[in-house]
Amino acid sequence: MLSIVSTPIGNLEDITLRALRVLKEADYIACEDTRVTGQLLGYYDIPNNGRLMSFHSHSGFSKMDKIIELLKEGKEVALVSDAGTPGISDPGFVLIREAIKEGITVTPIP
Amino acid sequence: MLSIVSTPIGNLEDITLRALRVLKEADYIACEDTRVTGQLLGYYDIPNNGRLMSFHSHSGFSKMDKIIELLKEGKEVALVSDAGTPGISDPGFVLIREAIKEGITVTPIP
């Protein structure tokens, strides 16, 4: 499953219990900037455990194919952007489109 | 301050840390149905402490005036609906409009 996880835009309390759980449980977290998302996880005491994968506008198709491959193996992948809801003004939409094409379950997390 | 607090629509994990804190700290919680909101608070282990006030489409102006009066006294009031974001398909908008007219700070809580 690919979870599209919304993260805070300005106030770090603006994150749901479900988003925190999904970020805790995911096998991999695809993010724009691993430093930004690493800091966010740190704020909520969520271990990184080498689960962060960068996925940004310069990542290219091989990175996307790798993520699709992990999803097909049954891995849980969370997609986040630097802030806000992924898929708006970030490259998340190409990954989401590809996942849907491949029949992978895509779940938006408010 | 009047806080407009969004609550879950279907998944009880779909609530932010900020919404939980505001519901915990408010002097009063104006809600459509005190039983529905009472159950929601119970789920998150937030004490009710007699803070719930019903405010629904049959409440009339005297109830709204009472809430505006509490706000003017400096009380913190949280407005919730049965589910979702207050102000959409519920009488919250009349209270919000009146609060703005009275110069009270209105804060939306995602």
The CA distance from B64 to B99, in Å, is: 10
Q: Is the model's pLDDT at A62 over the cut of 90?
A: no
Task: Say how far apart CA B17 and CA A66 lie, in whole Å.
Answer: 33
**Which band of pLDDT confidence, cut at 50, 70 and 90, is reported for residue A35?**
very high
Q: Residue A18 is which amino acid?
A: R
pLDDT value of position B29: 98
Residues A43-50, mean pLDDT to the nearest whole number: 96
* Residue B105 confidence (pLDDT): 98
- Percent above pLDDT 90 for chain B: 85
Output phi, psi for A30, to 5 deg: -85, 125
Q: Provide the 10 A C-beta neighbour count for residue A26.
A: 21
Q: What is the pLDDT of residues B82-94, one digit of tens each?
A: 999 998 877 888 9
Do residue B21 and residue A13 have CB atoms under 8 angstroms apart? Answer: yes
Could you list the pLDDT tens digit for every one of the 110 residues in chain B? 999 999 999 999 999 999 999 999 999 999 999 999 999 999 999 999 999 999 987 887 789 999 999 999 999 999 999 999 998 877 888 999 999 999 999 999 99
Q: What is the 3-state secondary structure (H, E, C) of chain B?
A: CEEEECECCCCCCCCEHHHHHHHHHCCEEEECCHHHHHHHHHHCCCCCCCCEEECCCCCHHHHHHHHHHHHHCCCCEEECCCCECCCCCCCHHHHHHHHHHCCCCEEEEC
Contacts of A110 in chain B (CB under 8 A): 14
Res A87: pLDDT: 87
Inter-CA distances, A70 with A3, A33, A84, B67, Å: 13, 20, 24, 53
Quote the tokens at residue A50. Answer: 């080498």
B18 touches chain A (CB under 8 A): yes
Q: Is B97 on the interface with A (CB under 8 A)?
A: no
CB proximity B10 to A under 8 Å: no
